[in-house]
Amino acid sequence: MFYPAAPLSSSLRAFGVLGGLVLLTGAGSAQAEMTHEAVATDAVTFSIERVADGLTRPWAVAFLPDGRYLVSERSGALNLVDDQGHIEALEGMPEVSTQGQGGLLDVVLHPAFGDGEHDWIYFTWSKPDQNGTRTALSRVRWEGDGLGELEHLFEQDRASGPGRHYGSRLAFLDDGTLVMSVGDRGSDPTRAQARDDHAGSTLRLTETGGVPADNPFVDDGATLDEIYTLGNRNIQGMTVRDNGELWVSEHGPRTGDELNLIQPGENYGWPEVTLGNDYATNEPLGVDAKPGMTGPAVALEGRFAPSGLAEVNSERFTAWQGNLLAGGLSSEKLERFVIASGRAVESEVVLEGEVGRIRDVRQGPDGGIYLLTDSDQGGLYRLLPTD
């Protein structure tokens, strides 16, 4: 199924800051405080709270039932963070490769987490392997205040360099299966079109790392059974909407970043179909469309560098119900997209530069919108409407 890049409405582009944005907590502060100033958008005025700071290149946040947070750092640390901003590194994680963009990456909880039987924390990481690395999936049991049994569930079929484009977002679908992104690994983009290679794809796995019997290519001897979609350059945002749709935000080449609605068995084109340009020459790299390949649902403007994606269904943000929020790294943006019929019909820049490079975007159980910032002094932030 092909969705052309959406011409986004400009009516929602403006945003402003009322009286200037002031974050009241300084580096190293344990106690989070609300701002007294508010960020105003077309539909919502909200404040920003720094929940925790002093995190080193954090990558993902997950929410424990007791109100505490799990935050991964690329260094390999999985941190337990309380509501006062205190950070404790947990013991029991594997040794990761931190070369380039590698490290400890995404973290999600089992959908039935909290019942005792399924208290598993799933995480992706860059596994060292001689002169290369692999994108890997593991899970560790939560034992109330620490980590217990560790299980390695899956790793991509081959190790390679040069230490980038791991992809590595995770999302549980409504049927209990787990989707995992694996980037093209950065050295040979054509791997994303190779059906005997996990690079440049999304994978669909069982909760124990096996192959679901109804995966789209299980009866295709030329394609690895785990592959769910092909032609994905480097997905770093992933969310399952209330209606069951799986959406991702994907790094393209220069000015070629995308939002995509993921459909099983589809080929999303990279590197043959792309709206991006060569980094050195700024010349187009591929074609806009090709038979049998799916173009972007949304072409993100400029050099967005997406990471983190969430749907808003919180009663606190009623004006944003059903919208997607995408974070940006080099753009330092949080952008809101109104979705209709598999494409974005309107967009609004919610933040641009106020908190820095945005690595992860999540909606919390409390209805707040949480952001992680990517820096040596990264922070966990919460957005809440002022009314």
Let me know the angle formed at the C-alpha of 371 by 79 and 146, rounded to the nearest 5 degrees: 15
The C-alpha atoms of residue 142 and residue 63 are separated, in whole angstroms, by 12
Which residues neighbour 181 within 8 Å (Cβ) at sequence distance 6 or greater?
167, 168, 169, 170, 201, 202, 203, 232, 234, 235, 236, 238, 248
* Cα–Cα nearest to 360, from 132, 37, 74: 74
Query: Quick one: the chain helix, strand, coil %, rounded to 5?
Result: 5, 40, 55
165 is catalytic: yes
Judge whether 237 and 177 are in contact, CB under 8 Å: no
E strands, 110-245, in order: 120-129, 132-142, 147-155, 170-172, 178-182, 201-205, 227-230, 235-240
Residue 199 main-chain phi, psi, to 5 deg: -65, 140
CA-to-CA dists, residue 353 to 25, 139, 142, 206, 280, angstroms: 17, 34, 36, 39, 26
Write down the catalytic residue from 110, 165, 198, 251. Answer: 165
Give the residue numbers annotated as catalytic, written as ranges.
165
